[in-house]
Amino acid sequence: MSFGNILVKLFQLVLVISMALVALYVLSISFFGTNIFATDEYFITIGEIFKRPIPLIFLYFSLIAPLIATGGYAILTGSKKMMKLFGSALGVFFMPSLLAHSKFNWLLFLDKSLGLSAVLPFEDILAMTLFIVSGYIFLLYSLQLGKLKQKLLNQGSVEEDVSNYLGEGVLLALIFGSIIITVLLTYSVNYFWSMMAVYAGGIPFNLWVVGIGFGMLIFVALYFFIATFRSAKPEK
């Protein structure tokens, strides 16, 4: 394994651990109402489920260890299945905090509420979700690049040729680009909204969401249609 590959693997591992820690933090805030990393308590009581206090360290490891193990295994073996499992687990950890920021609470049909201990501020949850989603995209694509490299090596390519491949660098650049544009859009929308409030303040939020959503869907569908059916022919 070349030095570059080792660096990539290390970066992926660090990313997996960071993502797991962030997910655990979000979960702890929404369920226990406390930052699991900053609490002075050594024991924690979970409502009516467990009557006796549970050692914090036990809870910490029981949640974080399988998550890191799944992500680490996916990276080391290149298993996409495990990576998807890791992604799903992250989604589950994030779900309560994200739902707390929803406009429509479908649980109300069942006469239930989320009943969270604490709700993370909008900026915090946005930043952390951005980190998780972009990190997951990076992991998924770098896994695919790793597989491609292995396939090329199996086909008889030279290690030196393959190690020249700098796909991960471009991948990172694309992801950072996407994050920056997303953040810019997020904050510019507020300004746009305040400017438009004079004219469109009367339109309910639901209609805005549905209108923008469907408009965007049509735009995206058109874009992919054009982009994918554009055929490139090799020059001779």
Partner 1 sequence: MLTKELSRSITFFSALFLGALLWGNIVVLYVALVPLLFTIMGLMINTPSSIIVERKEMGYTVWKDEIITMRVEVSIRGGLGLVTVADRLPPYFELIEGNNFHVFWKGIRDVSASFSYKVRCTKRGLHTFDGLQWRSRHLLGLQEPIVGEEEDPPEVLVKTKIMNIRRIRGIRGIASSPFPIVDIARMGVSTTDFREIREYMPGDPIRNINWKATARYNAGYTVKPLVNEYEAEGKKAVWIFLDGSSEMEIGSTIENVFEYAVEVAEGVAYYFLEKNYRVGMYIYNKEGNQLLYPDTGMRQFYKISRELNKIETTSRKEDLKDAVEKCRGYLLSYNPLCVVIPEFSEERKESLRKGIKSIIKLIGRRRKKPPIMLVNIPPYYLSSGDGQYREKALKLIKMRERPLVKTFESMGISILRWNPRKESFATALLRGVKR
Given the rule CB under 8 A, which residues bind partner 1? Answer: 98-99, 101-104, 106, 122, 125-126, 129-130, 133-134, 137, 140-141, 144, 148, 152, 155-158, 161-162, 164-167, 170-171, 174-175, 177-179, 181-182, 185-186, 205-206, 209-210, 213, 216-217, 220, 223-224, 227-228, 232-236
Least distance in angstroms from the C-beta of 38 to partner 1: 23
For tokens 């009943």, the residue is: 115
Which residue lies nearer to partner 1 by CB, 12 or 129? 129
Amino acid at site 33: G
Least distance in angstroms from the C-beta of 183 to partner 1: 9
Which residue lies nearer to partner 1 by CB, 76 or 158? 158
Least distance in angstroms from the C-beta of 35 to partner 1: 20
What is d(CA 113, CA 150) in angstroms, rounded to the nearest whole number? Answer: 49
Least distance in angstroms from the C-beta of 232 to partner 1: 4
Which residue lies nearer to partner 1 by CB, 35 or 102? 102
Least distance in angstroms from the C-beta of 53 to partner 1: 33
Record the tokens describing residue 199, joined without a space. 């004219």
Which residue lies nearer to partner 1 by CB, 39 or 186? 186
What string of DSSP letters covers 174-219? Answer: HHHHHHHHHHHHHHHHHHHHHHHHHHHTTS-HHHHHHHHHHHHHHH
What string of DSSP letters covers 10-68? Answer: HHHHHHHHHHHHHHHHHHHHHHHSS-TTT---SEE--TTT-SS-EEHHHHHHHHHHHHH
